Structure 1
Amino acid sequence: MAKGELVQAIRLLTAERDLPMDRIIEAVQEALATTYKRQYGPTPDVRVELDTDSGEFRVYAEKLVVIETQDESHQISLKDAQQYPGEPGLNEMVEVEVTPPNFGRIAAQTAKQTILQRIQEAERDLVYDEYANREGEILNGIIERVEPRGIIVNLGKAEAVLPLQEQVPRERYRITQRLKVYLVKVDRGVRMPQLVVSRAHRGLVRRLLEVEVPEVFNGTVELKAIAREPGSRTKVAVAARQEGIDPVGACVGQHGVRIQNIVNELNGEKIDVVPWDDHTDKFVANALRPAQVIAVLVHDAERRAEVIVPDGQLSLAIGKEGQNARLAAKLTGWKVDIKKESDAGGETQEAPVPPEPVAVAPGLPLDPADEPATMAELLERVPNEGRDEA
């Protein structure tokens, strides 16, 4: 490779890969300094400089100024040192060019290997820097291929894996399909950063609500808790931070447009939006909607809520395969026992719970601390972990 061709190749590669040229040149120069020391002995403080105009490499080494040299690789005579800028004096250090006659050939071979290696490292660092601070965000991707470890999603500048446990059982994925994913984890990796995305994480619902509901995005409506069974049903507890705002109505939107957009993105997953309440009995009753509740008996010591419902509402309160009761328990963080009125007998001493509005579209407190600590944990965890538990 000719001298000028090397610089031109570096320019083309860095432009094509969108990498900083000075970063690659710096890497080449460091590699050549190491090569020089290996070839010509352990000269201290060797520096290699690439002339980007001519394509020539020059090697510089610091030498000690002495009256008479005994080791030319480390010393320079006082007489010879006078030709250098500043006229260095005795026992001072001066940088001297020590480029060997055949260094150009060695440099070209080393540079080629180093460029390929450092381009890969630079790409890895750029991708990591691009996505490391975006954990917990929604990204748009295209399904590229299917591998044993999961579905590979192209995010534009990087590829991410959608593991089996982060997929929604009822969703069907196909090559070239566009979809929104939740970025769960970014690991630097050995060769390239490893990105793990999810369609099943409850954070996806939270982010979709922030996109669709301006009041959630600007903080006037707070998402207090989310409980999700991916692909089937999600319950969201909301509260207003400003008087005069209906948090449930804000999330649902006029004619249900806002919540329906989220349902469509989740391929028909039902979403219940219920009002948050600081009083446990009222919050538990709200969480069981759309079932009607007669009374809630709270047992603080056991963190258990005993719920009395009309006989005709028992099946609705429990839900299909216990789903409604299960989601209510996850949403409130309380164990929920449901009894029908005829079986409760004289136990309903608590005041009846007044009905609250609920929005149904045809978790626990949001805390990033529930994210897995390592990539290995994330890829090996059980299916429900990180989706709807604290």
Structure 2
Amino acid sequence: MSTKRTPFYQKHLTAGGKMVDFAGWEMPIHYGSQLQEHKQVRSDAGVFDVSHMTILDLKGTDSKAYLQHLLANDVAKLTSSGKALYSCMLNNSAGIVDDLIVYYIDEMFYRIVVNAGTREKDIAWMQQQLQGYQATLTERSDLAMLAVQGPNARTKVFSLMPAHELAIAEPLKPFTGAFIGDWFIARTGYTGEDGFELMFPATQAEKVWDAILAAGIAPIGLGARDTLRLEAGMNLYGTDMDETTSPLVSGLGWTIAWEPNSRDFIGRKALEAEKAAGVQHKFVGLVLEDKGVLRSHMKVHCEGGEGEITSGTFSPTLGLAIAMARVPASCGEHCQVDIRGKLHRAKVVKPNFVRHGKSVLA
């Protein structure tokens, strides 16, 4: 199957993007220096092409009831238009089908953004669960999507807006979005920095890209996106969790809305059974205390047994090797990581390392 291209493909080439296959899409891994791009987002502002993500609009009288059954988190928490909710979508055994963001527009309209690599299975699963509900799910393949992130991101985006648009965008609180004509602008992201995710007609893609770059916002590739999200302690689907892991062993227990007890969401019974039996593993952050770099699939040796790194990298912001790992629930404050046959000391921390450009390590 041939790889797909976003509406920004030619712009990536013009900007010097090194293109790679990512989830069936030709995407830029970097534009010359992944390290420089990482620092650009932490210190100023960068733009990511995220048009490979799947945007779905759910409309109908049963939209809310459907999502309350489909998702582990509860959309009933959403009462103001544009408010966003992060949730896992589980299978019957509490494995994670995908993680997603859902935006509440009104009681009969929700916008959902799911991952690129899970598009086909997600849509098939969601359509299957939709049977019996008065609602329709529509893929918005007519839309492009950009994320502008960094401490100066909002100010630089505001510089491109006329007064009537600014009046809508400027008051937006974190994790909230709003429609501006046929655009949807949301104060969300995947970097641990402030900024916006912009969804707009794909026909405007090249014009928008040029304007954003002209405002002093640099293009950023998938390489820096990964180190930024790892520093921020944000899970990557297929790496840190999948259909074989539950939210309880993926650091995502906070996304489960157990109340009200009457809400019978998919996977609830399996989660309750897992909880009652005693959760065997926990999801932690690791900071390497010796020299080296932490990578995914490296074995972690704890007092309570063996675990595994799910994501690892060298943190440009901290100047340290960091990782996220799934380890035995009894694992203490220190462990050892097997790096090429040698054991290296690591400190066990919360899986969150950097927020708004600053270390959150104790």
* Structure with more contact order per residue of length (Cα contacts < 8 Å, sep ≥ 6): 2
Q: TM-score range by the shorter chain?
A: under 0.3
Structure with the largest fraction of helix: 1
Structure with the largest fraction of strand: 2
Asked which structure has the greater CA Rg, the reply is: 1
Q: TM-score, normalised by structure 2?
A: 0.25
Q: TM-score, normalised by structure 1?
A: 0.24
